[in-house]
Amino acid sequence: MAPGNAGTRFLTKFLRLFHTARYLTTRQLWFQLRRRLLRRRIVTEVKVATSAAPLRLAPTPEKPTSHLGGGRFRFLNCEVDLGLPIDWRAGRCPLLWQYNLHYFDFLQQPSLSVDSGLGLMREWIERHLPTKRSVGWKPYPTSIRVVNWLKFISRGSNCPSDVAQSLSLQGTNLERQIEYHILGNHLFANGKALWFLGVTLERPRWIEIGKDIVLSQLPEQFLPDGGHFELSPMYHCLAVEDLLDLINLSRSQNDTDSNLLLRETAERALGWMEGLIDASSRFPLLNDAAYGIAPAYRQLLEYAERCTAKPLSHSFSTRMDGGRNSRNFSGYRVIRNDDFRIIFDTALLGPDYLPGHAHCDMLSILLEFRGESVLADTGVYEYAETADRTYSRSTAAHNTVSLDGLEQADIWKSFRVGKRGHPSEVRETSCETSCEHDGFSMQRRGLRHRRTLRLLANGIEVFDEVSGPAAHRFQAYFHFEPGLSLQEIRPNEFLATNGLVCSVSGGAATRTTTAYYPEFGLIQARECLVVSGTFKFNHTFRFRCTSSS
């Protein structure tokens, strides 16, 4: 091995780590260090007898059926028989599958009897003893699980003493492992769980810690227009469910002050989602998002009504020429007329200190025609470090432009981001919206991409400007909804099966097939138009999608 090559690899690795860590907050860095130096042991027993106060909650949303009877479970489109007695370690299963097992969401599935639910809890208590390496005793699965247990128990009689004792043990370990080193939805889930446990087990300290975490995180995690700051509609819906659960809890305790703050945030968050969903009430698959994980918008709306909350929109609306309308949802600009609806992504990749669920999707577009999807996002297949995970986060997986094969951000591992670009120069007039980003120039100085979107009376026009010193190559990707096929009617002009005509100028258009991940563990094939070419110094090219009817 040549010394020079080893030195180069070391420097490359060091710089990647530096550009990943430089965005972390002081709090994250401190708790990362503390966590490594002061490794806390798992508490294996709580000797003080524990009792639980009755908890009466409004009905909560049902979850998809995932416990199929006996030791059979189905998560992420993967069914596994863990045998009887249940092998809660599930060691041969992917880590995310194990997490879902220990969430105990199946307690909220339809028609699960009280006896069956309590039986699963007691089997877990007996056979999944606390150990440091156990997935089930990590703080995030613990946070989700204890709330699911308490919501399930609230439907029936009082909490049995053995279950209360286990909840006390789980809460004790959770308090010792609060995820200040991660922040985001993990920290929020920790706070929510401690609040629930504190109320049920009558532990004022846990109520205080949980409340402090949750209420201090509201202005941090929910943007002024109601959007969740990680900018994933799936995680946004999960966060809304968290808010509604806490409203439910605070109403049961006559905690008026907390209830008001939570309800105001939840109503803005519901209004934000209302502006993004399509005609079928489905959210777009922006960033890490897939169907079948979070509650559907209609479920959240029904739950909100039971908690006396309602959607309240805080987005900024702009009237445009020809009856067109544009609304901004945390950088996701929804532009529409009678027949067409576009989501133009001028948003940040995500919070710089927490970009784990971010994708290279700046300036990407999603298109609907008369309520049906035309250009779709990619979704997510899994969180393990695989080729599918890498692809789903890449620039090529989104309806945007790549220059010289570069990514908009240095996406690595499953959740890491090193150097990353940011959108800028958003301009909106009565007839068009435009934006640019600096993702490519972070890697090669001077490379620039600006996209202008025009919503026409009979379609859309996407106008791309690229520039950079010397010679470069570009590729623009347009991924179509599965089920739509394209027929080339003349060079650079294609007819889609829904009657839309797609045409390209300024580059060569070719058809290819790409992957679509609507749910975890599910892959579908779809057609994609790739517009490619080369340029020196600067170049423009266009994509038009119009209807003849």
| pTM for this entry | 0.95
Evaluate whether 220 touches 229 at the Cβ level (below 8 Å). Answer: yes
Computed over its alpha carbons, how large is the radius of gyration of the chain?
25
Tokens matching residue 446: 């001077």
Give the C-alpha separation, 517 to 525, whole Å: 9
Task: Compute the Cα dihedral for 527, 531, 532, 537 and give only its sign.
Answer: negative
Phi/psi of residue 168, nearest 5 degrees: -65, -40
Domains and CATH numbers, the chain: 316-547 (2.70.98.70)
Give the C-alpha separation, 300 to 452, whole Å: 35
Give the C-alpha separation, 339 to 153, whole Å: 48
Tokens matching residue 425: 């120069």
Give the C-alpha separation, 146 to 137, whole Å: 11
β-bridge partners, 335: 326, 342
Give the C-alpha separation, 256 to 406, whole Å: 52
Q: What is the pLDDT along the chain (549 residues), one digit of tens a residue?
A: 455 678 888 898 999 999 999 999 999 999 999 998 988 889 998 887 788 888 999 999 999 999 999 999 999 999 999 999 999 999 999 999 999 999 999 999 998 999 999 999 999 999 999 988 899 999 999 999 999 999 999 988 789 999 999 999 999 999 999 999 999 999 999 999 999 999 999 999 999 999 999 999 999 999 999 999 999 999 999 999 999 999 999 999 999 999 999 999 999 999 999 999 999 999 999 999 999 999 999 999 999 999 999 998 765 555 555 567 889 999 999 999 889 999 999 999 999 999 999 999 999 999 999 999 999 999 999 999 999 999 999 999 999 999 999 999 999 999 999 999 999 999 998 889 999 999 999 888 999 999 999 988 899 999 999 999 999 999 999 999 999 999 999 999 999 988 999 999 999 999 999 999 999 999 999 999 999 999 999 999 999 999 976
Which letter does DSSP use for residue 61 in this model? P
Residue type for 214, please?
A: V
